[in-house]
Each structure stands twice: as C-alpha cells, then as structure tokens.
C-alpha cells in the first residue's frame, strides 16, 4: 500500500508531538532552577566551604605575599586538609573524586581573592596531580598520589623551555636510556610554576617532565613523560624568576636537568606517549584558567559596583554618569557570559579523556581577555584608588594578563578553534 506524503507528514508530526509531551512529563518541574555553576548540593557545599576558607585564610595574606613575591607554603598545604589538592583524584588515593565543575569552582573562588596563590594550586592539582591520576601506572599512583593529595609533596609540570613554549615539538630537553636501563636527561625548562617552592632554590618535590626521546616514523619529535623527584642526581633550580608583572604569590623558576638520572619505573606510559598525556590534561587546565579569570572578573565587578555608589562627584553618585554605567553594564554582561560558558563547558568535560578541545579553547580564549577588560574597567571607575595595591583591582589586573599567555596563548586557541570548526562545521548549528 502506498502512503501519501501528506500522511507521512501527519504521522511524523504526531510522533514528534508525542515525544515532546513525554519529555515534558518526565522532566523535573524544577529544571529552570538549575544553576550551571552549582548543579548539585555537593557543588554548592564545596563552594561555600571554599568561600569561607578564602575569607578567613586567603584574603588576609594576599597583598603581603604579592608584595614580597613569595609562595605561602603553609597555606597551600592546608588545601590538602580540605581535600582540594586532589579534587579530581579518586578517593582510594586520597583525593575527593570530583568532576570538572568542582575544579572550576575551586579555581574561581581562590582567584576571587588571590590569583597568584591559585596559580600555584592549579599547577599542582591540575597540571601534575590530575595528569598522574589519569595517565600514571597503578604503582606510580599508589606511591605518589597520597603524598601530593595531602600536601606532603608539592608538584609542578615542566614543558616550556627558554626558546620553546607553544611549539611543544620543538623542545630541546633530551632523555637517553643508559646501559643500566635508567634515563639520563639533559636540558632546561623555563617559566615553571612551583618549580621552586621557596627562596632557597629548593625544587618541587615531584616534577611531571616532558622530554625528547627520539624521532617517530614521520620525522617528528618523540616526547616522553618522566616523574622527576627532588633529590634525584642532576635535578636543580637554575633561577627563581622575580619582578613578574603579576601572579607574584606563586613561584616561577627555571629547572635544570644536568645528566639527571631517572629510573625506568618513573617513566609514565611508554616512550612517545606524551601527546596523549598532554591532550587529556590540557582541557581541564584551560577550564581551570578560565575559572581563574571568572574569579578575577567577579571581584573586579564587585569592587567597581560598590565604589560607584560610595563615590560622589558634582553632587551625584558616579553611578549616575553614563560612562560609569557603560563600564558596569558591559562588565556585568561579560561576567555572566563567562560564567555560563565556563560551567557549561565543565559540565560537558570528561576528565578521563580528551574530546572537548573546541570549547575548552573557546572558554579560555574568551574568559581570559574578558577578565582583563573587566579589571581594567574597575581601575578606570575607581580612579586613583584603583591604581594602588591596597584596593585589590590593580593586582587583579596585573594577574589577569598571564591568563592570556599561560596554558596556551590566545593565538594558539584561535588557531585550534578555526581548525576544529573546519572539521566539525555541524557544531555551529547545534
């Protein structure tokens, strides 16, 4: 029997109507109240806990440690007591077993007060600890994760070099296997957050290191991952980097590997597998950096909004002036856009694998520049008060600039997004 096109259309319409009605009936009646930034009670409790910690512990020390360009080790180790240093690590290794949304919450709340301190946290918890949790062997995880989750050990990740940053495959640090089965590493790494943990050139307790171990079949550099521990022969701090524009409450250092001997059991995966490790971890790193930008934006917006009501000029509150309204209005819109994009991206990111690069690049590209712009507007609204360290926004403005560089430059994100959309144009129509 031949069915007419009209009948087919009617049947299709009925099926679609039925499915929509079923979905409506099954949908939670409170779906409109869902907050992307606090999707569960657990996330809400986590945010409250960190806000209290920030108010009581982080805020009072932020200005001092920025001025002195020092890393607050004691405060950092307290994060381990709260389960934050292993926020994305399974509980069996001493972590909290939480998701990408939780990672974003922690980075946002810490950066509301002290982005420099938060950067040290991100370098440890996302760049090193999360990397090990998802890429290390069972023996490596069992031995090391409890120490880095508790704060007993402080970790770092070493990829950038004096002449190579975004160009990862150009790195010159080399590892060669010796006759005893150990690896001998030679080279220098630069701009390493937590590379030095104090003012005495003490290196990080554990370093997640990328080094060349050969050339693959296509003539490209073969990159391998090593776990380098403090005390291993040939591992030292070259210099601590001073006089940075921002992020001064975290230590940045050059690391030196001079015939550094690393045992075979400290190789993560097999030779040449580093690109897998990088791809799995870059996404959560970029969500974390974007969330740091959100914390900066929220604090800057709060400061300029409060000041606009307190300050008077020509007999009126300055919030009555059109240009001030423009600064506040545009900042609010950008802040809300950041918030939605960050937490939607976090919700759709699986920490155990890669596959969300388009939006993790996008959210970092947008949010880091937006944060810098909002901090800049806050300074403009507050005038002279905004320009001095005591009033916070000056420090936030300085800190925000690094977020456009670290974890991938703006230009690298633009390149990646363009390439990905060429391969997946359907993403635009979703």
Structure tokens at 273: 């597998």
- For residue 420, give the 3-state DSSP assignment: helix
Sign of the Cα torsion 219, 223, 224, 226 reads positive
Q: Are strands 312-313 and 316-317 parallel, antiparallel or unpaired?
A: antiparallel
Q: Are strands 252-262 and 267-268 parallel, antiparallel or unpaired?
A: unpaired
> In whole angstroms, how far apart are CA 335 and each of 75, 294, 329, 330?
29, 7, 10, 8
Report yes or no: 222 and 171 within 8 Å, Cβ to Cβ: no
Residues near 150 by beta carbon (within 8 Å), at least 6 away in sequence? 80, 85, 94
> In whole angstroms, how far apart are CA 301 and each of 59, 298, 367?
17, 5, 14
Report yes or no: 294 and 328 within 8 Å, Cβ to Cβ: no
Structure tokens at 260: 């550094």
Please indicate whether residue 285 is annotated as part of the active site: yes
Residues near 43 by beta carbon (within 8 Å), at least 6 away in sequence? 37, 101, 102, 105
| Residue appearing with tokens 């363009």 | 418
| Residue appearing with tokens 């949790």 | 133
Pick the catalytic residue: 69, 283, 285, 334?
285
Geometric angle at alpha carbon 124, from 187 and 407, rounded to 5°: 70
Residues near 399 by beta carbon (within 8 Å), at least 6 away in sequence? 111, 115, 116, 246, 247, 296
Q: Which residues are catalytic?
A: 285
């Amino acid at each position: 029997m031949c069915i007419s096109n009209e009948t087919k259309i009617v049947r299709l319409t009925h099926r679609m109507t039925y499915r929509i009605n079923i979905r409506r009936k099954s949908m939670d009646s409170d779906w409109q109240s869902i907050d992307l930034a606090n999707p569960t009670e657990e996330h809400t409790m986590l945010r409250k806990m960190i806000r209290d910690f920030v108010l009581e512990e982080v805020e009072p020390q932020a200005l001092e440690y920025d001025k002195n360009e020092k890393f607050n080790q004691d405060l950092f180790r307290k994060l381990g007591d709260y389960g934050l240093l292993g926020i994305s690590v399974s509980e069996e290794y001493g972590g909290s077993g939480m998701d990408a949304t939780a990672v974003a919450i922690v980075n946002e709340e810490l950066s509301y007060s002290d982005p420099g301190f938060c950067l040290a946290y991100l370098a440890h918890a996302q760049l090193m600890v999360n990397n090990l949790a998802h890429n290390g062997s069972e023996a490596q995880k069992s031995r090391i994760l409890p120490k880095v989750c508790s704060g007993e050990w402080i970790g770092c990740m070493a990829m950038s070099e004096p002449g190579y940053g975004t160009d990862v495959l150009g790195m010159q640090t080399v590892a060669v296997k010796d006759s005893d089965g150990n690896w001998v590493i030679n080279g220098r790494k630069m701009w390493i957050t937590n590379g030095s943990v104090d003012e005495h050139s003490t290196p990080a307790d554990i370093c997640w290191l990328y080094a060349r171990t050969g050339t693959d079949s296509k003539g490209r550099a073969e990159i391998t991952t090593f776990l380098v521990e403090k005390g291993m022969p040939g591992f030292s701090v070259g210099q601590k980097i001073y006089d940075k524009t921002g992020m001064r409450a975290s230590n940045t250092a050059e690391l030196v590997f001079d015939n550094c001997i690393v045992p075979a059991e400290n190789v993560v995966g097999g030779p040449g597998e580093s690109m897998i490790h990088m791809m799995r971890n870059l996404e959560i790193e970029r969500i974390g950096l974007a969330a740091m930008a959100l914390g900066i934006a929220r604090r800057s917006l709060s400061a300029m909004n409060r000041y606009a009501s307190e300050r008077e000029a020509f007999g009126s509150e300055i919030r009555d002036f059109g240009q001030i309204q423009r600064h506040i209005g545009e900042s609010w819109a950008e802040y809300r856009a950041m918030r939605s994009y960050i937490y939607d991206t976090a919700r759709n990111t699986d920490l155990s694998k890669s596959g969300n690069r388009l939006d993790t690049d996008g959210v970092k590209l947008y949010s880091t520049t937006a944060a810098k712009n909002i901090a800049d507007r806050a300074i403009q609204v507050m005038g002279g008060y905004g320009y001095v360290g005591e009033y916070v926004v000056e420090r936030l403005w300085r800190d925000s600039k690094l977020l456009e560089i670290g974890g991938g430059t703006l230009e690298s994100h633009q390149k990646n997004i363009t390439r990905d959309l060429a391969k997946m144009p359907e993403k635009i129509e979703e």
